[in-house]
Structure 1
């Protein structure tokens, strides 16, 4: 039975990001066709990450309070309607509101990761989270190929939105096949299902967020934030960098992005084997995170000297490997360090820090690029990466002293 649930979660993760991959590359072009300026497109794009800073802990905590399966299905239904609406409305203001609603409710991946922690023993988490991420990455990488083809047809953007709507409906059906995650409490020797009204749910959500143990958890969220901002700085600027310094066409840039995606897929798929070989006696994962922060720091510095495209391509390999490992490992350490009944809350707060990184990177990159160059924006990823090395080294030293 667990194998069945595992395959369902894999499929939901794949179809979710495949659907997003269909529409994401077309969204900016669609807005330009409706008359939106570059500034307005940037505002609409940033609003999604901005609202997720707030909604991540709320939806995550809600999934702790309410049946996680129900929250996932409601989230998927909400997103299905919103993506269909994007293909119907031509008002930029309406599209902006729809993006805000999507940002608030779109938490499929984080809920799926919480379900993995609920359903499977801790020794399986690394393998299952890695494979979930692999399938999501594959979906997101191949989605644009299909989306680009469909967009060239008559009313292409509307057709893509309709297909996205159908994929989300299929995910709702798959989610309905998962087991319920009803919260239970003890009364005497008897376990009873806890049933809360809306008011009590809201109070419980607020209490869960308020009761996060920040003194014991801040370093977990800090590692997640530092890896996210370092990764976002590189990937946000790589297209501009390749155009400016190497004069690559959009087609060749696409090849490089596909190459990066392939490296990500191989890395994430191999992560469980990597942990078993080199970090078997380090169950908390901090040493692994420290090593890959160091690799990311070195890769960021090497990019300073990548004056030829071949060298640039070689340098991005360690960066992509380290960013892939850090994405999974920092997620895993957050989910494993928290209490089981607060997995959704901690996962949501963790994702909020990712959203903060995505929200501030476009502005930060713009300031640095205008003042210096796009190369400076990419190399800027060295700062959060080396900060991650310092933080994890401090944690390891403290741990060794306690032993």
Structure 2
């Protein structure tokens, strides 16, 4: 076979590029619509007559549902394909936001949050789809651009939501607008040129060696209907002798069945359970623990930011808002730095993750000990960059070590871990604030230091590129 046909861009590269660009648009519109609603939820539920305690319980419903559904929906996208799972999540999210626009009682409000809490995983599936479309070396660059596009939407959304709220029935208008945005995203996903893309997936050990030939069985996979289509079943670690898989090696030539969305539910559930079991039984606890520690540390940094600025420097809320907007804008722009930085590191993601974690911990410490607003501004500048790079690194390492055969499951599991952090961070922040306004970031420093120590211990156990260790199905 002609070696040139093994190129990642062989056959219909324009179709692949169009899909990637459209996914950027989907990510932007997704967070644009969501961020229109988020600042208004607490005010609306209180306007419906809920007490602070009830409002808190209602507000936690979404997070709890996300905690349990992230991994399941991500794994389901591996089973039925990205296209059908993404469409399902977008349409049901649109239904949830439409119901939110009709919520005139607390019961309806809670009902509207259920489909959103269960199926608002469109961004996770988009990331899994992008990981399917690009090679391992391209993945950090593409993921960085996707995160940047999504972050821009999150910055602009509250501005539009705030404007709409100034008019009568503003919350309902914002909710219906958000529902329309999700329906538009669903239409865009439906019209994507799925059948035009053929991408290559070589064995990792030979992907950079163009002098080696390849054949049709281990050179390519087609993205059809968003799933990795083939008449063969997946070749996973369990298809070989587990003892013969050397640590750090990918299982080559991953092949997938084309699965129908209308197949028996028990078969879908069985496949989902198998993939979740594969991730749960793999030796990836270290990466998930690092993700959890850093997620809580970052949330502690932001948890009482406005209150701390007022108590420490007598800063007005308006100025604090400017600081937060400045940091958010830098975080969005930092997505474009991920690709060049990973190239500078030679795609050595473990080293980059270690250095970004060290930098993040140091910046949290400098913020906690900042004697002036100017130092807070300086730390906020680099903090936005380091956290953006760190999030991309941890996702890329999870995909490297877990393998592409379960990218949706892995990304969903990562989101579940982050959801645990969202549950724990407010509790830890409240306890730390009992001692000092600097208590939450100080605790964040301790957690970041624990993450650094864990990385120093575990990175030598990974190979130089953080590849997969073992996975059992």
User: What TM-score bracket applies, with the shorter chain setting the length?
Assistant: over 0.9
Moved more, 238-247 or 262-271: 238-247
TM-score normalised to the size of structure 2? Answer: 0.80
Determine whether 1:139 maps to 2:153: yes
Q: Give runs of aligned pairs for residues 114-129 of structure 1, distance below 5 A.
A: 114-129=128-143
Select which of 54, 75, 80 maps to 1:40.
54
Are residues 1:314 and 2:378 paired? yes
Contact kept? 1:208, 1:345, Cα under 8 Å = yes
2:377 matches 1:377: no
TM-score (norm 1): 0.93
SS for the counterpart of 2:232 is strand
Residue of structure 2 aligned with 1:200, choices 234, 259, 267: 267
Partners in 2 of 1:210 and 1:398 — Cα distance? 23
Asked if 1:338 is matched to 2:402, the reply is yes
Match of 1:365 among 398, 404, 429: 429
Q: Which residue of 1 aligns with 2:366?
A: 302
Matches within 5 A, 1:279-290: 279-280=345-346, 282=348, 285-290=349-354
Distance 1:142 1:380 in 2: 32
Q: Note the C-alpha offset of 1:341.
A: 2.3
CA contact (8 A) 1:227 1:327 kept: no
C-alpha change, 1:61 and 1:299, in structure 2 (3 Å) is same
CA-CA distance at 1:321 after TM superposition: 2.0
Quote the residue 2:226 is aligned against. Answer: 181
Distance in 1 between residues matched to 2:72 and 2:257, nearest whole Å: 25
Q: Of the candidates 350, 361, 373, which is equivalent to residue 414 of structure 2?
A: 350
- Equivalent position of 1:7 in the other structure: 21
Counterparts of 1:2-401 in structure 2 under 5 Å? 2-178=16-192, 179=194, 180-182=225-227, 183-186=229-232, 193-195=258-260, 196-212=263-279, 214-277=281-344, 279-280=345-346, 282=348, 285-369=349-433, 371-399=434-462
Computing the radius of gyration from Cα coordinates, the structure with the larger value is 2
Secondary structure, in 3 states, of the residue corresponding to 2:284? helix
TM-superposed deviation, 1:191: 8.6
Post-superposition offset of 1:185 = 4.0
Preserved contact between residue 117 and residue 125 of structure 1 (Cα < 8 Å): yes
Paired with 2:72 and 2:276, the residues of 1 have a C-alpha distance of 8
Higher relative contact order (CA 8 A, sep 6+): 1
Give yes or no for contact 2:365–2:441 (8 Å, CA) kept in 1. no
1:96-154 Cα shifts (integer Å, max 9, x gaps): 23223311110011100000011111111011100000010010011101110110011
Contact preservation (8 Å) 2:96, 2:114: no
Larger displacement relative to structure 2 (255-264 or 91-100): 91-100
Aligned partners of 1:60 and 1:344 also within 8 Å: yes
Instruction: Work out whether residues 90 and 183 of structure 2, in 8 Å CA contact, stay in contact via their aligned partners in 1.
Output: yes
Local SS of the residue matching 1:90? coil
Which whole-Å CA distance do the structure 2 matches of 1:192 and 1:246 have between them?
60
Higher helix share: 1
Partner of 2:214: none
State the secondary structure of the residue aligned to 1:381: helix
Write the distance in 2 (CA, Å) between the matches of 1:266 and 1:248: 26
C-alpha displacement of 1:192: 6.4
Post-superposition offset of 1:223: 2.2
Corresponding residue pairs, total? 396
Distance 1:94 1:156 in 2: 18
Change (3 A) 1:399 1:205: closer
Supply the RMSD in Å over aligned alpha carbons.
2.1
Change (3 A) 1:396 1:222: same
Q: 1:64 to 1:361 in 2, by over 3 A?
A: same
Using the alignment, how far apart are the partners of 1:213 and 1:102 within structure 2?
26
